[in-house]
Amino acid sequence: MIEASQETHTKIRFTYNKSEAYQTHYANGAYGAVSPHGDFEFNFYYEHKDIPKEEVMTLENGILESEEQTSTDVIINRDLKVGIIMTTEQAESLSKWLIETLDDFRDNLENDG
């Protein structure tokens, strides 16, 4: 929270600096909940199917063919990338920003197309 000083300012300039540990992650989903203290917790993940640990193929007449898989289970991995915890006020501010940004993006698509 920014506290008001005795002197009135008309402009506040924020600068953004990336730490050495700053990283960018791709996420295609999130899982979260509200903590017992009322904070919002978001765990962003990347959802994908894994590469098989092994594969059995047969060679017949110079042609490789995959053997039938016996398992009918579909396994989807969710690799958790980052967890974010924020207050109710911060979550509300983020949601408003997301909606406004999406609305602007859609308006620009309609105007350009």
Contacts 24+ apart (CB under 8 A), 50-53: 50/75, 50/77
Q: Report how far Cα 19 is from the mean position of its chain's Cα atoms.
A: 20
| CA distance linking residue 6 with residue 12, whole number of Å | 15
Q: Is residue 2 very low, low, confident or very high in pLDDT (cuts 50, 70, 90)?
A: low
Six-digit token pair at 23? 């990283």
| CA distance linking residue 94 with residue 106, whole number of Å | 18
User: Average pLDDT of 6-34?
Assistant: 88
What is the chain's mean pLDDT, rounded? 87
- pTM score: 0.61
pLDDT recorded at residue 45: 95
pLDDT recorded at residue 60: 82
Amino acid identity of residue 103, one-letter, is: D
Strands 29-34 and 40-48 come out as antiparallel
Six-digit token pair at 11? 């402009």
Tell me the pLDDT tens digit for each residue of 55-109: 788 888 888 887 776 667 788 999 999 999 999 999 999 999 999 999 999 999 9
| CA distance linking residue 69 with residue 98, whole number of Å | 43
The region of weakest confidence among 14-28, 42-56, 78-92, 98-112 is 42-56
